[in-house]
């Protein structure tokens, strides 16, 4: 059964996703509640600080810029956050693992006591049973992706061939025991995938690559739809 808090969060999500006003009847249909419940919930949200314009019969619109308080998470969202943070803490490089633990502590610190207890006693875990050494280049690659910087990389492929190239990293996949880098390779003039454990050395050029990350992601996704692109061999 849907709790009232979950319903209010879903209503905020519905309002946030709409650019224009949405009528109460539409909200009622989407949320599976009566129109009277929608009107009552709108007033509850307004009393809690949500800036919602509109009236019954006209429609409602959430003003841009409204941010939900961090403690407003339904139980399943909290479980997802806990499990995700614990996975990162046990599978990522030390810097990202430490950040995951700090983020979880920060979220826990603003939760009401009942929800904080649910997080602290959660039975969802993501242990890493292997003894894999973390790739030393992952933090530098994450920073390069974040800042949109080209990097100079010395790489050894599966056949033992070494190459040095300048690439534009824009995405990284964190598989269970493998980190795959998606990048535009200047020497190949095309997209390439690389394994982080085969990187021999890496340094940032200090220069932003000419395209934005989202442009590269969009072009890469379109190419992946046309063909399967595997890791550099």
Domains along the sequence of the chain with CATH: 4-62 (1.10.10.10), 75-120 (no CATH), 138-226 (2.30.30)
206: left (phi over 0), alpha (psi -120 to 50) or beta: left
Closest CA to 143 of 169, 165, 166: 169
Q: Quick one: 137 exposed, middle or buried, by C-beta within 10 A (0-12, 13-18, 19+)?
A: buried
Q: Quick one: 166 exposed, middle or buried, by C-beta within 10 A (0-12, 13-18, 19+)?
A: middle
* pLDDT score recorded for residue 1: 46
Give me the phi and psi of 69, to 5 degrees please. Answer: -55, 145
Q: Which residues contact 208 (CB under 8 A, 6 or more apart)?
A: 147, 148, 149, 150
pLDDT (tens, 9 = 90+) of the chain, 233 residues, equals 456 777 888 888 888 888 789 999 999 998 899 999 999 999 998 888 888 999 888 899 998 766 655 556 778 888 999 999 999 998 889 999 999 998 888 788 777 777 788 888 889 998 877 666 767 889 999 999 999 999 999 999 999 999 999 999 999 999 878 899 999 999 999 999 999 999 999 999 999 999 999 999 999 999 988 876 555 54
pTM listed for this prediction? 0.67
* pLDDT score recorded for residue 231: 52
Q: Are 103 and 85 in contact (CB under 8 A)?
A: yes
* pLDDT score recorded for residue 184: 97
How distant, in Å, are the alpha carbons of 123, 208, 213 from that of 150? 42, 6, 11
Buried residues in 176-202 as b, exposed as e (16+ CB within 10 A): eeebbbbbbbeeeeebbbbbbbbbeeb
Cα separation of 138 and 211, whole Å? 22
């Amino acid at each position: 059964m849907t709790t009232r808090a979950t319903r209010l969060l879903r209503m905020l999500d519905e309002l946030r996703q709409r650019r224009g006003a949405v009528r109460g009847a539409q909200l009622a249909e989407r949320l599976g509640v009566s129109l009277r419940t929608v009107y009552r919930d709108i007033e509850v949200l307004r009393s809690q600080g949500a800036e919602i314009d509109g009236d019954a019969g006209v429609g409602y619109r959430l003003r841009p810029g409204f941010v939900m308080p961090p403690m407003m998470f339904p139980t399943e969202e909290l479980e997802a956050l806990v499990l995700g943070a614990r996975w990162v803490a046990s599978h990522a490089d030390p810097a990202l693992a430490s950040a995951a633990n700090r983020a979880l502590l920060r979220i826990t610190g603003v939760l009401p006591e009942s929800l904080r207890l649910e997080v602290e006693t959660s039975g969802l875990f993501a242990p890493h049973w292997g003894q894999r050494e973390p790739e030393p280049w992952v933090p530098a690659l994450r920073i390069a992706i974040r800042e949109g910087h080209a990097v100079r990389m010395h790489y050894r492929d599966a056949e033992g061939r070494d190459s040095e190239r300048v690439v534009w990293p824009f995405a990284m996949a964190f598989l269970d025991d493998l980190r795959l880098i998606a990048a535009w390779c200047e020497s190949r003039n095309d997209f390439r995938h690389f394994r982080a454990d085969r990187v021999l050395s890496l340094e940032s050029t200090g220069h932003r690559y000419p395209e934005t990350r989202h442009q590269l992601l969009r072009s890469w996704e379109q190419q992946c739809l046309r063909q399967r692109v595997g890791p550099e061999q």
